[in-house]
Amino acid sequence: MKTIFKHTKGDKTIWAIVAILAIFSFMPVYSASTNLVYVVGSGSTLGYLIKHVVLLIMGFAIIYGVHKIPYRFFSGGSVLMLPIVIVLLIYTLAQGTVIGGANASRWIRIGGIGFQTSTLAGLVLMIYVARYLARNKEKVVNFKESLWQLWLPVAMVLVLILPANFSTTAIIFVMIITVAFVGGYPIKYIGFIIAAGVLALSFFILIAKAFPEAMPNRVQTWQSRIESFSDKEGKEAYQVEKAKIAIATGQTFGLGPGKSVQKNFLPQSTSDFIFAIIIEEYGLFGGFVIVFIYFLLLFRIFVVVKNTTTIFGTLLVLGVGLPIIFQATINMAVATNLFPVTGQTLPLISSGGTSIWMTCFALGMILSVSASKQATEEDILDDNPLDILHETID
C-alpha cells in the first residue's frame, strides 16, 4: 500500500473520492442488474458486477497513467486529437449501433467493445478550448479570427453530436460558454455565440421536422421527453414514476443493500436511474452522502484551480472537471423528477465503460495539474503538437 501511495501524485483527497465512489458503486450496480437478468433475460448479476469492477480497474489504470503525464502535453495533444474525433463522430453517425436499448445510434464497436464517441469528443473539445483561451488571454480578441480558430471546430463537433445526443451537446455547449467566460472571452461575443447556437438548434429542429426520414425519431424523442416531464405521461413518465416510488420507499435509511423493489421495473436501473435505487436501498441518508461526495469533489477542483500557476492549467481543470459535477447533478435531478429524462449517467457509480473511462481520463488530467509545481505558461503554450507527437513516439 505504501508503494502505491508513493507513486501517486496530486491531490490525495481526489484520489480518495474516486476510490470511495468506485467501491460504493459495487453494491448498487450488483443489485440493480437483476433487472437486466430477470426482466430482460441477459447475463447474470455476478457477471455484471465483474464487468463493472473490471471497467473501474481499467479506469484507475487510466487515471494513474494520465496523471503521470505532464499536463502541457494535453495542450498540443488536443490539436492532434480533434481531427480524429471528428472522423469518429462522422463514422458514428453513419455506422453507429443501438446498445443497451438506447434509442439513438450513438455507439460504435472497437474490438467488440461499445464506445460512445461523443464522450471522447467532448473531453478533447474542452481541452482545445482551454488551449485557445490560454494562448489568447493577453491579446485583444479578434472576433472573426476566433470564429475560425475556436468556434468553427466547436460547431463541427457539436453538430455531429447533436443528431444522436442532445443532452451531451447541451452540456458541452454550456461548459464551453462557462470556460470562455472564465477565460476572459468578451461577453458581447459570448452573447452572439449563444444566439447563434439557439438559431442553429432551431434550424436543426425545422430540418428534422421537414425530413424525418433523415433523422428518425430524434426531435420526436426530445419532444416526448419534455411532454412527459410536464404532462406525466409516456415511457419516460413511467420511469420517473418508478424512480419516485423508489425514493419514497427508501425514506430515511432505506430498505437495505440489495433490497430494492423498483429495480425490477426501471429499464435503466444500473445507469440513468441508479440514484433512485441508491435512495431506495440506503435512504435519504445515502443520497445525501452521495451529494456531499460530489460537492467535496467540486470543492477540491476549485482548490486545484486556486493552486494552479498557469492559465491553461486553470481552464483545463475547470473544462474537464465541471462537466463531471454537472453530469452528476443532471442525473440526480432526473431521478428526483426535477429535470426531464436525458440519459446522463452518474459518474463513477453507474455502469458503462465509456463514461467511466472518460471520467477517469478527466480526473487524471486534474491530478496531473495538481501534481505540477513548476510548469510555466510558456512551457505549455509554446509546445508544437508535432513535437509532442515526436516526444511521445521516442
49-104 residue pLDDT tens: 898 999 999 999 999 999 999 998 999 999 999 999 999 898 888 775 544 444 44
Specify the pLDDT at position 115: 75
pLDDT tens digits, 95-151: 755 444 444 456 676 655 667 888 999 999 999 999 999 998 888 888 999 999 999
d(CA 198, CA 221): 19
Domain locations in the chain? Answer: 2-393
Sign of CA dihedral 178, 183, 187, 188: negative
- Residue 100's pLDDT is 47
Position 224 scores a pLDDT of 60
Residue type, 240: V
Nearest Cα neighbor of 25 from 391, 369, 346, 362 is: 346
Q: How far is CA 171 from the centre of its chain?
A: 8
Q: Which residue, 238, 219, 220, is CA-closest to 337?
A: 238
Average pLDDT over residues 151-169: 89
* Confidence at residue 214, expressed as pLDDT on a 0 to 100 scale: 58
Distance from C-alpha of 389 to C-alpha of 286, rounded to nearest angstrom: 46
pLDDT at site 40 = 60
pLDDT band of 387, cuts 50, 70, 90: low
Predicted confidence at residue 391, as pLDDT, reads 43
Predicted confidence at residue 81, as pLDDT, reads: 94
Q: What percent of the chain has pLDDT over 90?
A: 49
pLDDT for position 48 = 87
Instruction: State the pTM of this model.
Output: 0.87
Mean residue pLDDT of the chain comes to 83
Q: Is the pLDDT of residue 292 over 70?
A: yes
Interval 16-52: pLDDT, tens: 999 999 999 999 999 888 877 766 666 778 888 898 9
- With a CB cutoff of 8 Å and minimum separation 6, the contacts of 124 are 78, 81, 82, 85
Q: 2 or 330: which carries more pLDDT confidence?
A: 330
What is the reported pLDDT for 316?
96
pLDDT interval class at 373 (50, 70, 90): low
Return the number of other C-beta atoms located less than 10 Å from residue 376's C-beta: 11
Instruction: Average the pLDDT over 205-219 and give the result.
Output: 66
Res 4 pLDDT > 80: no
Residue of 89 and 8 predicted with greater confidence: 89
Three-class DSSP category at 97: strand
Largest CA distance in the chain: 63
User: Alpha-carbon distance 383 to 391, whole Å?
Assistant: 11
Looking at the predicted structure, is the pLDDT value of residue 390 above 50? Answer: no
Give residue 239's pLDDT: 80
